Each structure stands twice: as C-alpha cells, then as structure tokens.
Structure 1
Amino acid sequence: MTDPAHRPLAGVRIVEFASFVAAPSSGMALAQLGAEVIRVDPLGGNVDYRRWPLSAETGASLYWNSLNRGKRSVTLDLKSERGRDLLLSLATAPGPDAGIVVDNAVGRNWFGYEALVERRPDVIAVKVEGRADGGAAVDYTVNGDAGVASMTGPADSGDPVNHVLPAWDLLCGQEVVTAVLAALRRRDRTGQGSHVQIALADVAQAAVANLGWYSEAAERGARARHGNHMYGAFGVDFAASDGGRVMVVVLTPRQWAAIRTATGTTAVFDALAASLDADLTTDEGRYEHRELIEAVLKPWFAQRTSAQVSEELTAAGVLWGPYRTTADVAADFAARPAGRPVLAALEQPGIGEVISAHSPARWDSSYTGTAAAVELGSDTADVLSEVLGIVDAELTELRAEGVVG
C-alpha cells in the first residue's frame, strides 16, 4: 500500500500551521494515511526548524525532517498582511475534502477560528493548546503537574523523575487525528464545520484519570514508588551474567507457570506459598511478595548469558523483553531489517540515509510506506498555483515583495 493514491485519506487536504511535536505528529500521521498535508512556516522556518537532535554530518535537524515526512512545505512572510491572507486562503480553500486546519499558533488572532469561519463557514479547525485556560504548557510541565513524575524513579528516592519520551505530545497528536476524522465525517453527513480545541494538559490528566490513578490516590493517597517493579502484578528486570538486562512480566496463570518452568523454581515457589500462606497464583499474591520472587529468580539469570536467557525464556513461553539502547536498535535494524519491519531506511535530502518508519497501522496486511521530508518552502510556488490559482506573474510579484521565499 505504498501508493498514496490508494490510501484511505487520498484526496483530503489539510493545512498544518504548527510547530514542535503534538500537532506536527498528527499531520505526519494523516499524511501517512494518504492526506495531502501542507505545512506552512514563516520564512526561514518556525521555532522548531533547528531543534535537536541534529545530523552529525550536515547539522540539519533530524527531529524536523523526521516529523515532517510526507508533507508539502510552504513558507510565507507571516508578518505581512499579504502573507497572512495567503495562509488564510490556503486554509479555507474550497472543495469537499479541503478547508481543514490543524494549528497550535499562540497570539495570532488573525488566524483564529473567527477569521477562518468568516471565509469558509464549514471549516474544520483543530487547535492544540497548552492548557484549556489558554496558558502555556509543554510535555515536561504537563507530566509533572499530572502527577506522573512523582510515581517513577528509584524506590528510595523522593525526587521527581522526568521522562524522555514526549508521551503526552504524541498522545495529543493522535487525539488531533481522531478529531480531524470525526469532524470530516460530521461535515460529510451534515455540512457542518467544527471548531475543536485540544489542550495538552487535558490529554495528560484525562489519560491518568482513565487509568484510575486519581481515584486510587483519592482513596489511598500517593502511590509509593516501585523502581522497576510493576504495580499490581509481578514484573521486574533481571541481569544476565554478561551484563545484559531483561524485563520479565507475569500477568496470567500461564505466564506464571512458564517462568517457573523456565527457571526450574516450581517446587521452590510451591513451598514458599505454603510457608507464607500466600496465593502466588494471583496478581495480588505475586505483587505482595514481589521482592521475594525477584530474589528467588535472580540467581538463575545471573548464571546465564543474555543469549541463553533469551533462548530459554522464549522456549518456555515467558513474557519478556530485552533492554536495549537506541544505538543497539539502530545496529540491529542495520543487521536484520526484517526483524523490525515498521522501520525503513530512507534517503533524506540534506542529511543522507536515515532510519524512518512506516505508519504502525497495516492496511490489508501492508505497511503504508514512508517518504522523505522536502526542503523547507520547496512547494510554495506549486501549492499557491494549484490551490489558489496564482499565476507566474503574481508569484514573481510575491517574490519581489518578499512574501514568499
């Protein structure tokens, strides 16, 4: 399913006026589904154009070129009235599959919903915000405020631990995708447009509430930290003799039987259960005695190499996974690309070969394929011509005025 013309959103046009992670990740996901996503930036690029990580070879942003794969790129002088008018015109262009906007612009009232709906009453406008009250927020500030940073980290530490993955940004991006598709469905059925606002802080707090964590805290107080132990079940990491580490998780009776069989500890745990008057066949029992279970299992791992651990756990049907660095994953992909099929080697202009990814969703058992990010602003003339009907003479005039690059 690599041909964009055969993807589910082929023919849909979305204008993205956004930066950083949440909204751009939604635009990338929509492009992977076949939509024509036109990212509009100020001349010279938005504030995220040089965001780390950067290519060691060329200095180009690996971040920007990864999150903007498969999009068209337009740059305009958005400080000028004419540049703003062009952006508004692109965002509200006619057509049943057009007039869809995703943005996270702050302090740009000229691009607000009122300005958009005045030009196209059935416009679909999805806006990403920091907080619902209009305040600023990013993933790191949201995570701390949601209470999650106080739940992670070593059990003997009271310091908050930030996460590296911008999880709330990425989840917010998928909320944007859902909102765009739902609004498009409503417009197809009723002719009605939509004004959707999604606050990053709301995404985080709703997710934590939906897991029952706030209700738990209201009843029992703040949850104690568990280090790498799972909460409410048995799961923890173990070190092999060569220093490799694996995570073992037990969620079902079959998995409990598997880890005991693999490690030859069935009789030991039966005896412990009897002596403790504990039911280790339940999540509650294993969780209560997690440190004892860990202590019994630890020597088995310490006596085996990572390769032996992998072979024996897999053979027994244990639920487990290795710990790897990102460099390990990159090297593994280079050696065995078929083992990580969602990843793809891609020639990125301005950088060289990079590790890209398909959409995780497989349609008819096939990945969607991937595409390089284009050079900043390289589609400006074509997009203005195709969407707005601007002819060469006017493009020449816009260039002379500095409205387009």
Structure 2
Amino acid sequence: MYKLLSDLSIIEVSSFVASPTIGLYCGQMGAEVIRVDHKVGGLDYDRYLLTSEGRSLSWENLNRGKKSVALDLQSGEGRELLVELARTTGQVVTNLPEKSFLSHTAMSEGRDDLVSVRIMGWHDGRQAMDFTVNAASGYPLMCGPEDWDPATAPPVNQVLPAWDFITGAYGAFALLAALRHRDTTGEGSEVRIPLGDVAIGTMANSGAMAEMLYRGGDRERLGNAIWGAFGRDFRSKDGVRFMVAALTPKQWSGLIEAFGVEQEIAALESELGVRFADGDTPRFANRHRLFELFQHAADGFDWTELSQRMAKAGTTFEKYRTMHEAANDPVLVANNPLFGPSPANPSGFEYPATRSFANMPEKPVGDPAPAPYLGQHSEEILAERLGLSSGSIAKLVDAGIVRLSDKE
C-alpha cells in the first residue's frame, strides 16, 4: 500500500463489485476507506464461494484494508448515523439508489462541498448488473466458433465481470477528479456513473460502434482469432495450447523466425501477391492460410523447444493455463512483487494477496492489509468521527442500532 492518499477518508456504502472496487483501489493508495454496512452484512457479505467458516472470499478480497462499521440501516437512527458520517467525512462512494435516505441532497445538507460518487445501473434508473449490460453491448454475440451459424448460434458470456471492474476503476478516477475540482474551487460534486454507460461507452471508445454503423451490419465471429490483426491459439506437437499475437513488425518477424517458416511465408506471399510485413491488413485478410501454415509448423515442435524459440525471437505469446494453474504459477504469483504475504484474513485461510497494481520503484510499498470483520471499527469510527462517548455507543449497541465485530 502506498501513502499517496493518506490524508483522504472515504465513506463507502457498497455491495457486490463495482462500488467496492473504488474503495479498494483508493485504499491501496493510502486512503482510509470506511465501509458502512447493514448490521447483518450487505447484500454481498455471504457471496459465493464461502469457506468452511462461512466467510466470503469475494468479500474478503474486495474489502482489503478497509474499516468496517455496522449499523441497523433499516432503522431511522441507524440511517441518521450514516448520513452524519457522510457529512462529517465529506467523501462518499455508494451504489444505493439516489432516491433513498442516502441521496446526495440528504448528505450534502449543510455540507455544500460534499463529493459523492454513485454507481447506477442504467442512466434512466433501470437496474443492471455486469452480465445484463454485457448482453446489451453485443459482445456475447461476437464470441464463439467461427463456423457457427449466425442465425442460430447462442451468445457466449464472459466469465470475468469486466464492466464491474472497469466501472470501479473509472469511479476511483472520477472521485479523485471531483476532489481535485473541490480543492481548486471549493465546490462539491455529485457524480453518477451508470454501469450500462460504461459498457456502451467503452464499446464506442474502442471504435466498435462506429465500425458497426459504417459496415451496416455485425462483425463475424472469429473464434479465438484477434480482430483486425494476426493472432490466435495454436497447439504444439505435445498438445500444449498457447496464444500468439503479432501486431508490430518485430512481433511478426520474430514469429516467422521462431516457427522457422521463412520459406513458406515467402511462397505464400508470392502466391497471393501480398507482403505480410506491410501490416495488419494483409495478415488479417489472409489469416486462414496463415493459421494453417503456422499450425503445421507448430506440429513439429514440442512446447519446451517452441517456447524457447519464441522467447529468443522476442515474440508475444503465452501458454493457456487453468485458473488453478495460474494461481499456483511461480512467475505469475509466487515471484511477482504484486503479491505480498497473506495477512490475517477473517476467513482464516492463508493465500497471497495483492498490493497496488501500480508499481512505484522509488516509494516503499507495504504488505497487503486484511479485510475487516463486519463491525470491527464501529466503536472507533463513531467516537472519532461523531464524537460519541463510549456510554452512548454502548447504548446504541444494546438497542441493536450499532453492531460490533462479528469475529466471534
């Protein structure tokens, strides 16, 4: 964890992926992130997969390094405490509906410089989640084998909730932009980020929307091939599947060298009347002939030899792994400075934990922090932020308005 945001405190009222990711990333840069949940846990507190102790590994990893306050958010008094925490702190991240007790208007009463970032479904207020906005984006109908019949082929969903994580990253950026604006002008901001707009907007930013409008129809399915360039999965002589990509002249020439296909490429260029070194267009347009040529060459190499040849030639490639293999890979995890030692996780399960994705060589980076127990910091935060006495807090605990740590 870096200390770049050590002077920043954020109230987070979140669930699932996108909104908690904002706090996670800010926390990894040193911010104090105070997650406030309903006293029995938010909607994601017991999200699958649970350990034998009943702890969610998803929750544990999305909430590393945060502090936890647990209130009865179904009661008026609990909600008032949360709103007061928001006002006192001045920065709030949430995915609760705007038309709720935690509206920007309610939080900013008496605090004109309050900054709130709210993750929404769609811009018009409809509910959404990653897999539904992905369905709307068109991407699942671009995935799948090339020979599937477009009229009858099913969609292919991606496993990673990518739109959630992109939204979380954009939310962290938008929060810091609003805080920068406040530093300059003294003005607060209400920032609303619809998950659906992130998906459709990203599709547009990539050029895919313009492409569909220009071509007047949909792009064909490509299987595992890369759109508009040379790249695909291949299989070595001993059955290892791997992915290669050649988007630059160096990558392309290195691939030819590694596979030992100089003469075959020259013959194919002569036959087709093209120069594959001229760029992506001739390579993509003739991809099927090239795929056949490279796969034939791969049939002559075991993976160990071919991978060594590709590495020596400076190509861009990677072997396919199962996720379990990736989690146990020494290069990806054990010897990667991204990962630190296992903190004292609430689950009791020890495993590598991530530091900040950003690497700052001149700055010390600490070890990953554990996720909190639900309600672990309720007493601390209510005393420090709202000035409540220990007696007042004890009364709130006895009344069921405040919950302390669920460690036991």
TM-score higher than 0.5: yes
**Distance in structure 2 (CA, Å) of the matches to 1:238 and 1:334:** 22
Equivalent position to 2:85, from 86, 90, 103: 90
Question: 2 CA distance for matches of 1:105 and 1:333?
Answer: 40
Aligned match of 1:399:
397
Counterpart residue number, 1:59: 54
Q: Is the 8 A contact 1:26 1:173 kept in 2?
A: yes
Distance in 2 separating the partners of 1:258 and 1:189: 50
Q: CA deviation at 1:335?
A: 9.8
Is 1:136 the counterpart of 2:162? The answer is no
Structure 1 residue aligned with 2:376: 378
Are 1:24 and 2:15 an aligned pair?
no
Whether 1:126 and 2:117 are equivalent positions in the alignment is: yes
Offset, 1:244? 1.7
**Alpha-carbon separation, structure 2, partners of 1:73 and 1:85:** 17
Residue 344 and residue 334 in structure 1: after superposition, are their counterparts in 2 closer, same or farther (change >3 A)? farther
Answer yes or no: is the 8 Å Cα contact 1:359–1:368 preserved in 2: no
- 2:310 corresponds in structure 1 to 313
Letter of the 1:70 counterpart: G
The 10-residue stretch of structure 1 (293-302 or 72-81) with the greater mean CA deviation from structure 2: 293-302
User: 1:300 offset after TM fit, Å?
Assistant: 2.6
Deviation at 1:243, TM superposition (A): 2.3
Q: What is the distance in 2 between the residues matched to 1:393 and 1:20?
A: 34
Distance 2:350 2:341 in 1: 7
Identity of aligned residues (%): 38
For the 8 Å contact 1:101–1:126, the answer to whether it is kept is: yes
> What SS does structure 1 have at the residue aligned with 2:276?
coil
Q: How far apart in 1 are the matches of 2:99 and 2:400?
A: 20
Q: Which secondary structure does the structure 2 equivalent of 1:346 belong to?
A: coil
| Alpha-carbon shift at residue 333 of structure 1 (Å) | 3.6
Question: Are 1:33 and 1:368, in contact at CA under 8 Å, matched by a contact in 2?
Answer: no
The answer to whether the 8 Å contact 2:229/2:247 transfers is yes
Deviation at 1:205, TM superposition (A): 0.6
Change (3 A) 1:318 1:147: same
Partner SS for 2:93 = strand
Identify the match of residue 291 of structure 1 among 288, 292, 298: 288
Q: Contact 1:246–1:322 at 8 Å: present in 2 too?
A: yes
3-state SS in 2 of match to 1:150: helix
- Partner residue of 1:268 out of 264, 280, 285: 264
Q: Name structure 2 gaps, 5 residues minimum.
A: 404-408
CA contact 2:98–2:104 (8 Å) conserved in 1:
no
Moved more, 394-403 or 101-110: 101-110
Structure 1 contact 362–368 (Cα < 8 Å) conserved: no
Task: State the Cα distance separating 1:179 from its structure 2 match.
Answer: 1.1
Task: Look up the equivalent residue of 1:148 and give its one-letter code.
Answer: Y
TM-score, length basis structure 2: 0.93
Aligned CA RMSD, in angstroms, stands at: 1.6
The equivalent residue for 1:115 is: 106
Distance (Å, rounded) in 1 between the aligned partners of 2:125 and 2:332: 48
The corresponding residue for 1:254 is 250
Structure 1 segments, 4+ long, off by >6 Å, are none
- 2:349 maps to which residue? 352
- The CA deviation string for residues 177-229 of structure 1, in whole angstroms up to 9 with x for no partner, is 11110111111111100001000000011111011101110111100010001
- What is the CA deviation profile of residues 42-80 of structure 1, one whole-angstrom value per residue up to 9, with x for unaligned ones? 01101101111223x433110000000000000000111
Count matched residues: 395
Distance in 1, matches of 2:214 and 2:241, equals 36
Q: Deviations over 1:165-184 (max 9, x none)?
A: 11110010011111110111
- In structure 1, the gaps of 5 or more residues are none
Distance, in Å, in 2 between the alignment partners of 1:355 and 1:150 is 36
CA displacement at 1:262 relative to structure 2: 1.0
In structure 1, C-alpha distance between the alignment counterparts of 2:239 and 2:340, rounded to whole Å: 30
Matches within 5 A, 1:70-81: 70-81=65-76
The whole-number CA distance in structure 2 between the counterparts of 1:335 and 1:23 is 27
Contact 2:14 2:94 in 1 (8 A): yes
Whether contact under 8 Å (2:65, 2:371) holds in the other structure is yes
TM-score by length of 1: 0.94
Residue in structure 2 matching 1:226, options 222, 241, 248: 222
Q: Aligned equivalents of 1:133 and 1:276: distance in 2? A: 52
Amino acid at match of 1:269: I
Which deviates the most, 27-36 or 250-259? 250-259
